């Protein structure tokens, strides 16, 4: 089980909305100037992640909680976000090249097929939902620590 700290920002009946600040995948290593992950983090910034989970612990707004996610769910999400688009890009390019070869447009067909394949895969990944067994869940409430300033009343 992978655990992460989050703060409760809203409650709705049996559900709560949580906000978690992503931790940097890399910090101060010597390769951070040439690291792709560090470059993406600088480019896009680190925005808080919001999610909705069942409120099985009766937590309230401002509470700090530990959120759990199974390793299986993380691996499935990683495959959907990384592996499937790459395979769709390659498959789309090959299909587009094959379809365009008869008209002498093999390269254009490969390019359009690759873009179509990756766009379709990213759309499918965006629309995908976790199975209920793989959904994040509240593990426990943290007694120590204070809530961030934007959650204090």
Each domain of the chain, given as residue ranges in start order, spans: 2-151
pLDDT at 48: 81
pLDDT at 153: 43
**Token pair listed for 77:** 């999400």
| Closest alpha carbon to 19 in 42, 53, 54 | 53
| Closest alpha carbon to 57 in 142, 153, 114, 145 | 142
pLDDT values of the chain reduced to their tens digit, one per residue, 153 residues? 888 899 999 998 889 999 987 765 565 566 666 776 666 666 766 678 888 899 988 899 999 999 898 898 889 888 888 899 999 999 999 999 999 998 889 999 999 999 999 999 989 888 887 777 778 888 999 875 544 544 444
**68, 134 contact by CB (below 8 A):** no
**64, 27 contact by CB (below 8 A):** no
């Amino acid at each position: 089980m992978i655990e992460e700290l989050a703060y409760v920002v809203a409650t709705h009946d049996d559900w709560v909305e949580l906000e978690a600040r992503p931790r940097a995948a890399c910090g101060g290593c010597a390769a951070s100037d040439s690291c792709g992950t560090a470059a993406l983090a600088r480019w896009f910034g680190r925005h808080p992640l919001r999610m909705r989970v069942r409120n099985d612990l009766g937590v309230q707004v401002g509470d700090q909680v530990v959120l759990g996610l199974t390793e299986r769910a993380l691996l499935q999400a990683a495959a959907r976000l990384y592996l499937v688009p790459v395979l769709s890009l390659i498959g789309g390019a090959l299909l587009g090249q094959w379809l365009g070869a008869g008209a002498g447009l093999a390269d254009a067909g490969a390019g359009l097929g690759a873009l179509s394949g990756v766009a379709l895969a990213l759309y499918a990944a965006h629309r995908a939902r976790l199975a209920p067994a793989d959904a994040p869940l509240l593990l426990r409430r943290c007694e120590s620590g204070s809530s961030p300033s934007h959650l204090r009343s």
